[in-house]
Amino acid sequence: MDELDCGPIEGEVEALFNKAASYLQTLASSLPQDKLLHFYARYKQATEGPCNIPKPGFFDFKGKQKWEAWKDMGDMSKNNAMMEYVSAMRETDPEWELKASSEKSGAYSSSWVRVSTLQQQPDDFTKDEDKSPFDWVKENNVEKVKILEHGKIMEKDENGMTLLHWAADRGHQEIAKYLLEQKLDVNARDSEGQTALHYAASCGHLEVIRVLLDHGGDPTIQDSDGLQPEECAEEADVKMFFKNL
């Protein structure tokens, strides 16, 4: 008889969950992205509880998918998340328990990432001496940014983004404030016509939005698609903030 159907105690569910999480390593490379996200969200909910990290930046598409999948779990209990994880494993491979039990001890390394193809990788592995001003902003390296020459502060990348765009994208409030104090154009547009305010709104960085507005950020500027920053926002509190301006 199916253990989960009998209402197993929490310890039994956890044991099955850990076994399923290890077994997933043998399947991860063959599963579609939506299935991996399904497992990822339930693993995070089961091991850490409700989503407790900021939404990733505008260009971190994979990170945003993972964040949204976890966020959608809401307040689901850790035990229920483990049960759903095990249930999903049974749907994916009905014979997974038998196969997992037949594996030799130590077949799954504890150092493996639970869902390897969804593991968030660092932006790059550039050596410090080869990093650009954009790298320092992305890494929130305030000290490095503050010693940049004025000409470097005014640079744009291949997409027309300024350092301020990147600070807004990553939610780096202190760097954004410093760049604005150095007279970087708060309403500068990238190749898509978006300002730093569009980026901060899209990523839900409310404190950065306030900094930009305090320094003359224009919330009425439209991008190439005719969208104002408010219309790029996804978070309810950000939308409400703009409506109350």
Calpha distance 183→102 (Å, rounded):
65
Predicted local distance difference test score (pLDDT) of residue 103:
56
Calpha distance 104→111 (Å, rounded):
17
Handedness of CA 223, 228, 231, 233 (dihedral sign): positive
Calpha distance 152→170 (Å, rounded):
19
* Residue range(s) in the chain whose domain bears CATH number 1.20.80.10: 4-104
pLDDT tens, per residue, the chain with 245 residues = 344 444 445 678 888 998 998 888 788 778 888 898 999 999 999 988 998 887 777 667 778 888 899 999 999 999 999 999 999 999 999 999 888 876 543 444 332 223 323 333 334 445 677 789 999 998 899 999 999 999 999 999 988 999 999 999 999 999 999 999 999 999 999 998 999 999 999 888 999 999 999 999 999 999 988 999 999 888 889 999 999 98
Calpha distance 126→177 (Å, rounded):
26
Predicted local distance difference test score (pLDDT) of residue 102:
67
Q: What CATH superfamily classification does 128-243 receive?
A: Ankyrin repeat-containing domain (1.25.40.20)
Amino acid, single-letter form, for residue 115:
V
Q: Which CATH number fits domain 4-104: 3.40.50.1820, 3.30.360.10, 1.20.80.10, 3.30.540.10?
A: 1.20.80.10
Give the list of residues 6+ apart from residue 129 with CB closer than 8 angstroms, or none.
none
Predicted local distance difference test score (pLDDT) of residue 65:
85
Predicted local distance difference test score (pLDDT) of residue 12:
84
Calpha distance 179→137 (Å, rounded):
10
Which helix (H) or strand (E) covers residue 213, if one does?
helix 206-214
Predicted local distance difference test score (pLDDT) of residue 10:
61
| CA nearest to 53, candidates 66, 67, 40 | 67
* Residue range(s) in the chain whose domain bears CATH number 1.25.40.20: 128-243
Q: Which two three-digit tokens encode residue 111? A: 């150092």
Predicted local distance difference test score (pLDDT) of residue 123:
45
Amino acid, single-letter form, for residue 225:
D
Calpha distance 54→73 (Å, rounded):
15
